[in-house]
Chains A and B, each alone.
Chain A
């Protein structure tokens, strides 16, 4: 661990180190604001000095804290996964949505929303059904990607992207059928879930998710160097001692886990994984030690802010957070394509 930290600081420049520290400060600040603001405001300081009323404390501990922490973790997870996939595919437009992982998770989740009432009306683990089936969905997609691309060796990447397109389409068909056969309340649940929201999360649901996501993020940080080498091309990285197949497996697995869990808890939140790594590259450089760590931090900051906006824009109602990220992200995406054309 110490060795890993040592290596991390070895590979980032002074400027990047400053950005890293500033981002940590901003994240703490943002989370504090995110916890204090909402349908009614209070100061977080009062919590630590014990000056809150019971109601306020209830709101803070059981609603605000889990919500803001989950937003930060999911933002970090999606951004980091985007940065990893952009590195792995050597394509600046890669995104967890691209290779079908999000769609697989969404199909699994949609299945559980529409079907659980029929098959498991009073099941003990009902709250966990949605995340579990979403993870199963993304894992299923990953397995298919693996079986399809196993024989391709170095050229596997292109085929994986193409397979991702097909899987996205298939998952769309599945979700379409589920939408068609669902009744009114299921349809409403499905629609809101598809747009993404951090509302209604509870501690017992998110604690396991947070633990898994955070440990996967820390584990993924360790492959930064290999991702750098991969930018020379797969044959070159292989010659420099990088086990390409293992690296590919590691990144896909970590993405599947963190994206599957995120999607299941919050629905589809688009464009974060695409936009954040680009912002981070614009600020301070492209090496992956810096990129992965700072993408996670920036993603967390953006997501907490997006969630805050979703809560306060049309009070007392709430906007789906996925709408906000897409509203910011899609023009950015268009600008990216425009910029590529000028190159």
Chain B
């Protein structure tokens, strides 16, 4: 049970953005994608989530080509949290979270209410439900979008072999305690059977919470494996062009 990314290439006009990228996102695992700005991280996420089509290569969800999965079924298999966008009209927080809830044949109110209660406790945002979304702080908005991304996977009416959550820098704008909270929720989700694909910038966070890490630079995967295999001073220094040191006793990465 996994997402297989096979030899993806993508270019805009003459500009090659991704070159021959291959990855595996497994169920029950957190795969973190790291790399310098402009290395193609978000583009790769867009291709895996199905927003854009690669020029060559394929994405397989549990051995089914993404091209052959219609967009409604895609929404049931994976949810995506991107860099959040503002909402023009004055929706309440509850309404925004509800947008993530996928309707089955019928809308069963109790099911939704239970899911809402669950996600409200997990993300500790129950007290915000009746507030206006637009009056929240940037960090609170992120948390609400995160809750929406989670609740999308909570309707068990649909038969799917596995479910995936993809996140593009979800911890931007969050303070360190909320950052940890979010990562811990994701970690818990892997135990419930989810596969997590996450773009991160924080090296220490990625090292400590990932099951697999991929480094991408200039559109190419330059390291992929367990955190202990890829977090080597030599590799990191080469990727970021910066003296990165790894302290083996405290397991901390430092670069200044």
A56 located at the interface, meaning its Cβ lies under 8 Å from any Cβ of chain B in the complex: no
A239 contact set on B, CB distance < 8 A: 49-51, 74-75, 79-80
CA distance in complex: A229, B99 (Å):
6
In the complex with contacts A7-B107, A10-B107, A228-B99, A240-B89 CB distance below 8 A: no
Please name all residues of chain A whose beta carbon is closer than 8 Å to the beta carbon of B30 when the two chains form the complex.
Answer: none
Q: Is A127 among interface residues, defined by CB-CB distance under 8 A? A: no
Interfacial chain A residues near B91, Cβ < 8 Å? 231, 286-287
Is B85 part of the contact surface with A, judged by Cβ < 8 Å?
Answer: yes
B109 adjacent to A240 (CB under 8 Å):
no
Q: Which residues of B contact A228 (CB under 8 A)?
A: 95, 99
A240 to B92, CA, bound (A): 19
Shortest distance from the beta carbon of A159 to any chain B beta carbon, whole Å: 18
In chain A, positions 223-268 with a C-beta closer than 8 Å to chain B are 225, 228-229, 231-233, 235-236, 238-243
Contacts A239-B80, A240-B152, A241-B102 given; indicate if A232 touches B87 (C-beta within 8 A): yes
Task: Report which of A225, A229, A233, A240 forms a contact with B85, defined as CB distance below 8 A.
Answer: A233
Q: How far is the CA of A238 from the CA of B85 in the complex (A)?
A: 14
B124 within 8 A of A: no
Say yes or no: A235-B51 contact (C-beta < 8 A), given A241-B74, A281-B89, A286-B90. Answer: yes
Most buried by B among A229, A236, A238, A285: A236
User: Which of chain B's residues have a CB closer than 8 A to the CB of A241?
Assistant: 71-72, 74-76, 102
From the candidates A10, A91, A240, name the one contacting B102 in the complex (CB within 8 A): A240
Given known contacts A225-B103, A239-B49, A231 and B74 CB-to-CB distance under 8 angstroms: no
Q: Tell me if A37 is interfacial: C-beta within 8 Å of chain B.
A: no
Contact A3-B51, Cβ < 8 Å, known A241-B71, A286-B89? no
Given A235-B82, A239-B49, A91 contacting B71 (CB threshold 8 A): no
Shortest distance between the CB of A323 and any CB in chain B (Å): 30
In the complex, what residues of A have CB within 8 A of residue B80's CB? 236, 239
Q: How far is the CB of B191 from chain A (nearest CB, A)?
A: 25
Chain B residues positioned under 8 Å from A6 (CB to CB) = 106-107
Total of A-B residue pairs, C-beta within 8 Å: 62
What is the size, in residues, of chain A's interface with B at 8 Å between Cβ atoms? Answer: 25
CA of A239 to CA of B69 in the docked complex: distance in angstroms? 12
Q: CB-CB < 8 A to B102: which residues of A?
A: 240-241
Instruction: Tell whether A222 is near chain B: CB-to-CB under 8 Å.
Output: no
User: Which residues of A sit under 8 angstroms from B85, Cβ to Cβ?
Assistant: 232-233, 236
**DSSP majority for the B interface?**
loop
The verdict on B88 contacting chain A, using a C-beta distance below 8 Å, is: yes
B54 at interface, CB cutoff 8 A: no
The answer to whether residues A238 and B90 also contact, given A10-B109, A228-B99, A287-B95 and a CB cut-off of 8 A, is no
- Count of B interface residues, CB-CB < 8 Å: 28
Q: How far is the CA of A29 from the CA of B103 in the complex (A)?
A: 37
Residue A92 CB within 8 A of the other chain = yes
Chain B nearest Cβ from A343, distance in angstroms: 10
Cα distance A241–B76 when bound, in Å? 9
Residues in A with CB closer than 8 Å to B95 are 228, 286-287
Cβ of A236: which chain B residues have Cβ within 8 Å of it? Answer: 80, 82, 85
CA distance A242 to B70 in the complex (A): 10
Q: Give chain B residues whose Cβ lies under 8 Å from the Cβ of A285.
A: 90, 92
Q: Does B219 contact A (CB under 8 A)?
A: no
Residue from A6, A225, A238 having most chain B Cβ neighbours under 10 A: A238
Q: Say whether B100 faces chain A, with CB atoms less than 8 Å apart.
A: yes
Q: How far is the CA of A268 from the CA of B95 in the complex (A)?
A: 36
A91 to B85, CA, bound (A): 14
Q: In the complex, what residue of chain B is closest to A3 when comparing beta carbons?
A: B106
Chain A residue with the shortest CB-CB distance to B87:
A231
A240 CB contact (under 8 Å) in B51, B99, B106? B99
Question: C-beta contact mask, A264-296 vs B, less than 8 Å → 1, else 0?
Answer: 000000000000000001000111000000000
- B152 nearest CB neighbor, chain A only: A240
Chain B residues closer than 8 Å to A225, beta-carbon distance: 103
Most buried by B among A91, A228, A241: A241
User: 18 A-B Cβ contacts within 8 A?
Assistant: A3-B106, A10-B107, A92-B89, A225-B103, A228-B99, A229-B99, A231-B89, A231-B91, A231-B99, A236-B82, A236-B85, A239-B75, A240-B100, A240-B102, A285-B92, A286-B90, A286-B95, A287-B91
Q: A residues near B, CB below 8 A?
A: 3, 6-7, 10, 90-92, 225, 228-229, 231-233, 235-236, 238-243, 281, 285-287
Closest 6 A/B residue pairs (Cβ): A241-B75, A286-B89, A241-B72, A233-B85, A239-B80, A241-B71
| Known interface pairs A236-B82, A238-B71, A286-B95; 16 further A-B residue pairs with C-beta atoms within 8 A, sorted by A's residue number | A3-B106, A90-B88, A91-B88, A92-B88, A228-B99, A231-B88, A236-B80, A238-B51, A239-B49, A239-B50, A239-B75, A240-B100, A240-B102, A241-B74, A241-B102, A243-B71
